[in-house]
């Protein structure tokens, strides 16, 4: 069960050893509580005056014997006791897939890792605006934004390794899935090379979820039984155009706005039909989400105003979305009709 209470200005006593309790202390301070500490059950070691009667006791499980008697006394006198997990061992890196940009599509493991982090290095494709609500960690923007130089890949890796070697729980939050055009493999290698323990939490990739946001299934029975995910960061070769055109199924392109023109022309040269349906889905799950639907032969003009981030989808599955939208509209029309007949 999860409860939200306003703790601003409330006295909270955090019990537990300093090593185990430091994250809980930070979380309660971030929530606006006035925190006092009791680091051993004897009460001999505590910093700051103990509040007479705290609003809440946050009991961190530090494995020391003797806390139960104290906590029982609190409960008996009507002071609520919240059990808190101890901070995990410091000095490691977790690469976290942040999904396509909404906290709704973060995994449970991602939420836990963010909660336990001491420092989060994030970029702009991750759901970064909501980070302060998910983590009391230090938040460091290493991504591109207008007027700011992004930190280089080598720079990001150095920052992560340095923080982990200083004993911190480091989260590297990335858009989508860390292993899909996310340089996750390089970041893992940098940690391994420095002797820093590292793990990877998969995320919901934009390659599948952004088409879905526009109602486009990347596969559909009897329409497409395979999908290929391609980076449009650099133009493809003629051989690659031929392979893609010959493969059939759905083609999903990430980072493809800058090379859209070359891709459409290349696939046409490789023999793909001009009326192949195509969609550009911009800013999936974010304000201003927009879908542009055209055909391979007309997309360059239709999508002239489109900008990054966007996912391109080429294939007959684009029609499935249109047909489903048609069904939804027809159903809504029937509902309206039924409602008006009932009212009559
Ligand atoms: N690792 C990421 C992809 C990184 S490459 C993942 O698995 O999703 C960055 C590209 O992802 C962008 O150029 C764009 O093509 C796509 N992308 C990521 N988030 C997106 C979103 N919310 N809407 C549209 N495209 C998105």
pLDDT per position as a tens digit, 147-159: 567 789 999 999 9
The answer as to whether 250 is a domain residue is yes
Dihedral sign of CA atoms 142, 148, 153, 157 in order: negative
The answer as to whether 180 is a domain residue is yes
Domain boundary among 84, 118, 142: 84
State the total domains in the chain.
3
The answer as to whether 336 is a domain residue is no
Residue 45 has a pLDDT of 47
Residue 285 has a pLDDT of 95
Same domain, residue pair 77 and 96 = no
123 is annotated as an active-site residue: yes
State how far the Cα of 124 lies from the Cα of 148, in Å rounded to an integer: 12
The answer as to whether 197 is a domain residue is yes
Q: What share of the chain is helix, strand, coil (3-state, %, to 5)?
A: 35, 20, 40
The model's pLDDT over 51-81, given as tens digits with 9 standing for 90+, comes to: 678 999 999 988 888 888 888 888 899 999 9
Same domain, residue pair 133 and 31 = no
Same domain, residue pair 219 and 172 = no
Domain boundary among 169, 204, 239: 204
The answer as to whether 282 is a domain residue is yes
Q: Rounded to two decimals, what is the model's pTM?
A: 0.80
% pLDDT > 70, the chain: 94
Question: Considering only CA atoms, which residue is closest to atom 2 of ligand 1?
Answer: 176
Q: How would you list the strands of the sheet with 119-122, edge to edge?
A: 138-141, 119-122, 169-174, 92-97, 198-201
Same domain, residue pair 183 and 248 = no
Instruction: Give the position, in ligand 1's atom list, of the atom nearest the Cα of 207.
Output: 8
Residue whose CB lies within 8 A of the most ligand 1 atoms, among 203, 212, 308, 309, for a mutation test: 309
Q: Are 18 and 64 in contact (CB under 8 A)?
A: no
Same domain, residue pair 226 and 278 = yes
The bridge status of strand 56-60 relative to strand 290-295 is unpaired
CA dihedral 247, 251, 255, 257 (to 10 degrees): 100
Same domain, residue pair 187 and 256 = no
278 is annotated as an active-site residue: no
Which of helix, strand or coil describes residue 20? helix
Same domain, residue pair 198 and 96 = yes
Q: What is the mean pLDDT of the chain?
A: 91
Residue 41 has a pLDDT of 84
Same domain, residue pair 192 and 215 = no
The model's pLDDT over 269-286, given as tens digits with 9 standing for 90+, comes to: 999 999 999 999 999 999
Residue 50 clears pLDDT 70, i.e. is over it: no
CATH number of the structural domain spanning residue 245: 3.30.950.10
Residue 126 has a pLDDT of 84
Instruction: Give the position, in ligand 1's atom list, of the atom nearest the Cα of 184.
Output: 1
160 is annotated as an active-site residue: no
Residue 145 has a pLDDT of 57
Give the tokens for residue 218. Answer: 């990347």
Same domain, residue pair 275 and 298 = yes
State how far the Cα of 309 lies from the Cα of 332, in Å rounded to an integer: 32
**Residue 59 belongs to what domain range?**
11-84
* Ligand 1 within 6 A of CB of 98: no
Same domain, residue pair 225 and 300 = yes
The answer as to whether 287 is a domain residue is yes
Whose tokens are 């923080």? That residue is: 163
Residue 47 has a pLDDT of 55
Residue 108 clears pLDDT 60, i.e. is over it: yes
Same domain, residue pair 105 and 167 = yes
Domain boundary among 40, 57, 84: 84
Q: Which of 96-110, 120-134, 296-310 has the lowest mean pLDDT?
A: 120-134
Which of helix, strand or coil describes residue 227? strand
Residue 216 makes CB contacts below 8 A (sequence gap 6+) with 279, 281, 313, 317, 318, 320, 321
* 149 alpha-carbon distance from chain centroid: 22
The answer as to whether 341 is a domain residue is no
The model's pLDDT over 218-263, given as tens digits with 9 standing for 90+, comes to: 999 999 999 999 999 999 999 999 999 999 999 999 999 999 999 9
Q: Are 159 and 119 in contact (CB under 8 A)?
A: no
Q: How confident is the model at residue 168 (pLDDT cuts 50, 70, 90)?
A: very high
């Amino acid at each position: 069960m999860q409860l939200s209470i306003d703790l601003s200005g409330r006295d909270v006593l955090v019990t537990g050893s300093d090593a185990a309790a430091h994250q809980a202390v930070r979380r309660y301070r971030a929530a606006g509580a006035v925190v006092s500490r009791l680091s051993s059950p004897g009460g001999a070691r505590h910093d700051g005056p103990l509040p007479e009667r705290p609003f809440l006791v946050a009991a961190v499980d530090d494995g020391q014997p003797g806390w139960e008697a104290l906590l029982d006394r609190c409960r008996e006198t009507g002071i609520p006791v919240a059990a808190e997990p101890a901070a995990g061992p410091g000095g490691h890196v977790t690469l976290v897939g942040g999904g396509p940009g909404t906290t709704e599509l973060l995994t449970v493991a991602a939420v836990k890792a963010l909660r336990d982090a001491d420092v989060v290095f994030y970029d702009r494709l991750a759901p970064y605006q909501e980070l302060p609500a998910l983590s009391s960690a230090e938040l460091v923007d290493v991504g591109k934004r207008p007027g700011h130089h992004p930190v280089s890949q080598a720079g990001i890796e150095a920052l992560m390794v340095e923080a982990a070697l200083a004993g911190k729980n480091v989260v590297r939050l990335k858009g989508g899935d860390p292993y899909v055009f996310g340089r996750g493999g390089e970041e893992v290698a940098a940690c391994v090379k420095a002797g820093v323990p590292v793990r990877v939490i998969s995320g919901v990739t934009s390659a599948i979820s952004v088409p879905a946001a526009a109602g486009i299934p990347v596969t559909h029975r009897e329409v497409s039984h395979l999908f290929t995910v391609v980076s449009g960061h650099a133009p493809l070769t003629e051989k690659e155009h031929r392979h893609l055109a010959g493969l059939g199924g759905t083609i999903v392109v990430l980072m493809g706005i800058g090379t859209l023109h070359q891709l459409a022309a290349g696939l046409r040269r490789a023999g793909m039909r001009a009326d192949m349906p195509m969609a550009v889905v911009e800013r999936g799950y974010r304000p201003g989400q927009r879908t542009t639907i055209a055909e391979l032969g007309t997309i360059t003009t239709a999508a002239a105003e489109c900008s990054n981030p966007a996912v391109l989808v080429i294939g007959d599955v684009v029609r499935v979305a249109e047909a489903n939208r048609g069904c939804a509209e027809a159903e809504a029309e029937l509902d309206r009709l039924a409602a008006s007949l009932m009212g009559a």
